[in-house]
Amino acid sequence: MAVLTCPLCAWRVNAAATHCPQCGADVHLESSAARTELARRLGPGAVPSAPAAAPGRLLTRRRLTVLVTLAVLVVLVLALPLIAGYFGPTAAVYATDWRPWRSHLKVQLTHAGSRDASLTVSYHDPWPGTGLSPGLQFFFVYAHRGASWLPWTVSSQGTGP
């Protein structure tokens, strides 16, 4: 398939086509002749101007959809601990401590106040991460929120008593 470039909008057009599907110009004419012919066809006072770059080539509708979807996913993943904090301190701990390789994650609330909470987290970890050996791990987690309308956030963690 032979491809021509539109003289007005630089859109790639099939050589068998008579007019550009993007702007409607005759693809077999030069730039000035195509502009004049298009203005004559559109009527008086409708002189099209040549765009600086090919429209839609750098950011097509599909690319824009993909970029917006990725941006929303990144924002949701980064904001997950903050969003989960609105559902209570246990949800905030799940959002911050869950890892795909950890199994049997269990969070128990040991103390709850209006602004502070302490929780015990236990899970099975196949690797010796922060614990001394793989297997069952225990953490003591402290959650805090500055005011009653703010989400819970994990403020500190520890492995001691």
DSSP structure class, residue 147:
S
Q: How far apart are CA 75 and CA 100, in angstroms?
A: 20
Q: Among candidates 11, 41, 42, 40, which has minimal Cα distance to 27?
A: 11
Q: Among candidates 144, 71, 140, 75, which has minimal Cα distance to 112?
A: 144
- pLDDT per residue as tens digits for the range 69-125: 999 999 988 888 778 888 888 888 888 777 777 777 888 888 888 889 999 888 877
Q: Which two tokens stand for residue 53?
A: 């770059």
Please give the model's pTM, rounded to 2 decimal places: 0.45
**Three-class SS of residue 78?**
helix
Close Cβ partners of 29 (under 8 Å, ≥ 6 residues apart): 7, 37
Residue 130 has pLDDT above 80, yes or no: no
Domain spans, the chain = 3-42, 80-158
**Three-class SS of residue 156?**
strand
Residue 22 has pLDDT above 60, yes or no: yes
Residue 56 has pLDDT above 60, yes or no: no
Q: What is the pLDDT of residue 105?
A: 81
